[in-house]
Structure 1
């Protein structure tokens, strides 16, 4: 029961009425002032008690126009309808203003990828343009998958689809005309040529579009990100497409999204970060992808059925397998320069290589049988470019594991026993692999099942780079470049003078450590020769690449994985020129430098490579001046 602490004879409104006085006349509704302040009104005419006590005018004249109840809140559907109408009006105004200006000349575009517009999901209405804030949609992901996997399996708890809206900035990017159609066309004529891990056939048939949602929008945003060159004057890390993709990525993770399209989009964002030198973001992104592999249960379709559902087609199974290999390639290639640990484990005998790229694109399993993972990554059977890239990553993994062991032994002062058969086998596999890829440089891709034999050589030095052709070679360049980078990495580990001693000090004298075995020193000398020859072969490759990049259609297919070999060759030639001053080496250095400068128009990480070499030049010049100053002081002092 409510208790009011008011003086006797005074009601809550403040009016002082005698209990024996006749009841005053009252209005049917409260006055305007009481309604606005949400106070209780005694409705006494002509002035209510509260207004009389507050000495303010009391108005009952517009009561008929004042609603008796608070207006109901608009529903989400009504807000969406209003927003859609507002966006439609804005688009009409923009189109009217643009129609008054002459349209710019249209550039020729590649053949359009045929996606049936009827299967494209309708985009939700675009909200008004504003600063995007992360979605507050709570995650409904079952935590038992991580806290107690056995309980998750026993309960057969389904993984719900996150019910979150697509950010307004993403809708603003993807809802402009035929942006989705054009993005798919540009992507499958560009990045897909060297990194085919997204099923083109399933995209054309709309099988991946039936369950459209924010994950599919994120995938299209990633495809547009890697397909659109960064304009001059814009930092890659500040690219609006990139910032929108990173915010969308975080929002999907917050909402508990788990899907194949989401992780595929993450791979494309990581390729953008690696290609434009956005570190440490690229390094962290690769680590995140390694964790997502475990969540999705890749590459096996049985383990992947927990999070992704059961596999229904052969193409879908191959797409999952290729997603794992794509992450494996990025995980190995990003460790080339820093030689740090990997995120993904080494594949075992249960893993199989990707099938032929043409069979995957057409969704035809009869064109290529499943390729079991060989005991060694080298094989003379003609394979597709993506399979060759996987093999080069396997060779890189073997080499990096050995080099990392040597580095750790030098740090801990515990030399690793030298194994000449192991190093010779590794170097020979690398050289034979490069020869096989060079033999596959042809205008048309080799038919599956044919074989090519590497040329016999008594040493493990690469042969001459054959002349390349733009039709099929641009897709094979990443695998060849990774293999050549791996060769330089191996040779550089053993060619330095300090590696000829058992201890860390290379200085001669009675305190110098004893020399290595004769086989070790012999391999070091061959590594020095192999380092020089490999760098000069990359110079020939850079000249061929310059001819390819003249065509804009080939520039779109340039892989950022090709750039490390160019930098490794440039750094080696720079060192050799500083050591001996050879004019031929200087000319080769300038050719490679010119090629890297040209590739910076597509991938900005090339500018970072050039900046590193420039800093080396400055450091060398400062050291040279310091040594010259010491010599002058010595001559002046006469000592």
Structure 2
């Protein structure tokens, strides 16, 4: 094994730099990761607690290596076909490009042109058997009771490799239900467990994709800031694209879409997060889970209450994502319509997990706020109100008096929900469970008040009513920001270990940032020391979760940029 050498006769008195290996270790080469070549072990291998091998042996070939090899074989076949023709262009299976022509002329030697792109073997020959009549003439599709055939597509090799054996999949399932399921319970634990225990049951590509996306969400990312673009994420995006192209009809595909959207939102991968949420909405509408009465139903008839509840929860998951991803995207249109007043809210999650059927009169959107509900049902209520806030700000041609009355009504409704949530979360063991609906409720209050706290032109209010509304909005922002500060303090006290941090949803990051931004504004306007302390506290809270959700780092950078701007303005 060769090591890089250093000049031992250096005349300066500085300490000699640590020796490094002359090449990357086998693990980093195999994963195509940057290796710092530290001796005796690189930082990545040391962090992963694995052996670090700097030997000259070549790493075992991966699926990507086989794909490259196949590409070269295709290129050689193209050259042979071209040589067998009777002249230039005859029988060639490749295309000339300007780059290949220029490089050939400059070198003075005829080089092979760039071959036509051929996808890897894992993603070839996707056939779409979906009945177009479902969209071209939906009434005929419904009357004819036409069923969408199952998609014939193999599970890609890279997906199988990433999932591992049955034991690894069981670990993924356990970790997922211990963490993500506590704040976004849309996948039936009972159904998944029953299927895994059935020896006659064969896993399809949609379930393999769902397992892959569960694995994407369950573990905590490594410290590498670029790790959000990991192989699991890339494979999941490719696999989803293939299943979509095949015309697959599956609730598990919708759930996989939701998990990918959550991952992208939690790590600030934009515009992908925005686009994926839109795909969730569209695909849910394709399945018909958004409206079981009027929309064509492509999924099979439900066979149990547990299955019906799972479909209902999956669509609520889409609605929640659609509202949360739109908080900071003013002016963009929501992808889902408002839930109707008689839309049923989710049943108690613990009962659903056990397969215990809920009461005959389940709670609905129009049920009183005072009715006892589980955290996920509260999250649905908070997201519905957030949607009303966003639609309110998007209204046009509404009289000022009517507009201000709508704001007052929404503020009272959201405040009532916030008080109920704080009361339900009073028990320490319940706080993490209710932290997600509380964060969305607080974010909705801030989103409601913010446009009225300062008009877009930066000028003073033009009417007495507008001035009154502005004063109330500023007071509202201060009150809500103080509540978020208390919420943050409680959350920090409840996340004493890594498992607790894993159970905090990415929605909380936006809430902490919003409060921090409000405190920063107050510091600039009044120099309030208490607001400065609260701002520092928000920064610390965001930093606490930066190892789990990269969006917290993005929000911290925005806060720093705002403070720099404020300081530059103050200094003239």
User: If the TM-score is normalised by the length of the shorter chain, which range does it land in?
Assistant: 0.7 to 0.9
TM score, norm. by length of structure 2: 0.75
Kindly tell me: are residues 315 and 299 of structure 1, through their superposed partners in 2, closer, same or farther at Cα, counting changes over 3 Å?
A: farther
Judged with a 3 Å threshold, the aligned counterparts in structure 2 of structure 1 residues 489 and 127 are, in CA distance, closer, same or farther, namely closer
2:210 to 212, 219, 233: 219
Alpha-carbon distance in structure 1 between the residues aligned to 2:328 and 2:412: 22
In 2, the alpha carbon distance for the partners of 1:345 and 1:539 equals: 32
The CA distance in 2 between the partners of 1:211 and 1:129, in whole Å, is: 30
Change (3 A) 1:522 1:208: farther
- Which residue is equivalent to 2:406? 422
Cα offset for 1:624?
3.5
- Contact persistence 1:478–1:559 (CA under 8 A): yes
Decide whether the 8 Å contact of 1:183 with 1:220 is kept in 2.
yes
Cα separation, 2, equivalents of 1:574 and 1:179 = 46
What is the CA distance between 1:168 and its match in structure 2? 0.9
Q: Deviations over 1:187-237 (max 9, x none)?
A: 001000011111111112228973520000000011111111211114254
Report what 1:324 is aligned to.
315
Per-residue deviation, residues 143-174 of structure 1 (Å, max 9, x unmatched): 11112223323443321111111111110011
SS of the residue 2:412 aligns to: helix
Select 1:195's aligned residue among 167, 184, 201: 184
Note if 1:432 corresponds to 2:413.
Answer: no
Offset at residue 395 of structure 1 (A): 1.0
Partners of 2:186 and 2:317 within 8 A in 1: yes
Aligned partner of 1:374 among 366, 369, 376? 366
> Cα gap change, 1:177/1:363 in structure 2, threshold over 3 Å: closer, same or farther?
closer
Structure 1 distance, partners of 2:458, 2:481, is 28
Q: Pick the structure with greater CA Rg.
A: 1
Shift of 1:387: 0.2
CA contact (8 A) 1:236 1:278 kept: no
* Per-residue Cα deviation, 1:461-512 (whole angstroms, up to 9, x for no partner): xxxxxxxx2x22112111111111111122222222x47xxxx5726xxxxx
Residue number among 265, 271, 276 corresponding to 1:280 in the alignment: 271
Q: Could you tell me which of 228, 245, 248 is aligned with 2:236?
A: 245
Taking a change above 3 Å as real, the CA distance of residues 316 and 529 of structure 1, as seen in their structure-2 partners, is: same
Q: Which residue in the other structure is 1:12 paired with?
A: none
What secondary structure is seen at the aligned counterpart in 2 of 1:309?
Answer: coil
Q: Distance in 2 between matches of 1:302 and 1:202?
A: 25
Q: Deviations over 1:428-469 (max 9, x none)?
A: 1111111101111144xxxxxxxxxxxxxxxxxxxxxxxxx2
Q: Does 2:550 align with 1:597?
A: no
8 A contact 1:237–1:243 mirrored in 2: no
Check the 8 A contact 2:322/2:336 in 1, yes or no.
yes
Task: Go from structure 1 to structure 2 and tell me whether the alpha carbon gap of 1:337 and 1:155 turns closer, same or farther (over 3 Å shift).
Answer: same
Q: Answer with 261-270 or 153-162: which moved more.
A: 153-162
Shift of 1:362: 0.9
- Aligned residue for 1:219, secondary structure, equals helix
Is 2:507 the partner of 1:515? no
Which residue, 385, 389, 394 being the options, matches 2:379?
Answer: 389
Paired residues in the alignment total 460
1:474 equivalent in alignment to 2:427 = no
Larger CA deviation: 524-533 vs 254-263: 524-533
- 8 Å Cα contact 2:414-2:441 kept in structure 1: yes
Selected match of 1:314 from 305, 330, 349: 305
Cα separation, 2, equivalents of 1:343 and 1:300: 15
- CA contact 1:305–1:311 (8 Å) conserved in 2: no
Matching of residue 402 in structure 1 with residue 392 in structure 2: yes
Secondary structure, aligned partner of 1:307: coil
Residues of 2 paired with 1:353 and 1:367: CA distance?
12
Question: Residues 258 and 478 of structure 1: is their aligned pair in 2 closer, same or farther, counting only changes over 3 Å?
Answer: same
Question: Do the aligned partners of 2:347 and 2:358 also contact (CA within 8 Å) in 1?
Answer: no
C-alpha distance in 2, partners of 1:385/1:541?
16
Shift of 1:421: 3.6
What is the deviation of 1:304? 7.4
- Given that 1:236 and 1:276 are in contact with CA atoms closer than 8 Å, whether structure 2 keeps it comes out as no
Taking structure 1 as the reference length, the TM-score comes to 0.68
Q: Report if the CA contact (8 A) 2:431-2:491 is conserved.
A: no
Secondary structure of 2:297's aligned partner: helix
CA distance, structure 2, for counterparts of residue 420 and residue 156 of structure 1: 49
- Structure 1 residues 162-177: aligned runs within 5 Å: 162-176=151-165
Q: Distance in 2 between matches of 1:366 and 1:320?
A: 15
Query: What displacement does 1:129 show?
Result: 7.1
Q: Residues 218-617 of structure 1: matches in 2 within 5 Å?
A: 218-301=209-292, 306-339=297-330, 340-366=332-358, 369-374=361-366, 379-405=369-395, 416-443=400-427, 469=428, 471-496=429-454, 498=455, 504=457, 506=459, 515-516=462-463, 518-617=464-563
Counterparts of 2:240 and 2:539, CA distance in 1: 36
Structure holding more helix per residue: 2
- Contact kept, 8 Å, 1:430 with 1:487, in 2: the verdict is yes
Contact kept? 1:355, 1:368, Cα under 8 Å: no
Distance 1:207 1:302, change over 3 A: farther
Contact map agreement 1:129 1:168 (CA 8 A) in 2: no
Distance in 1 (CA, whole Å) between partners of 2:227 and 2:384 is 30
> CA distance change for structure 1 residues 528 and 154 in 2, over 3 Å: closer, same or farther?
closer
Q: Decide whether the 8 Å contact of 1:226 with 1:268 is kept in 2.
A: yes
The question of 1:622 aligning with 2:568 is answered yes
Q: Supply the distance in 1 between the matched residues of 2:373 and 2:468 (Cα, whole angstroms).
A: 35
Q: Secondary structure at the match of 2:125?
A: coil
**Runs of 5+ consecutive residues of structure 1 not aligned to the other structure:** 1-100, 107-125, 444-468, 508-513, 628-639
- Is 1:138 the counterpart of 2:127? The answer is yes
Structure 1 residue 520: Cα displacement: 3.6
Q: Are residues 329 and 417 of structure 1, via their aligned partners in 2, closer, same or farther at CA, if it must alter by over 3 Å?
A: same
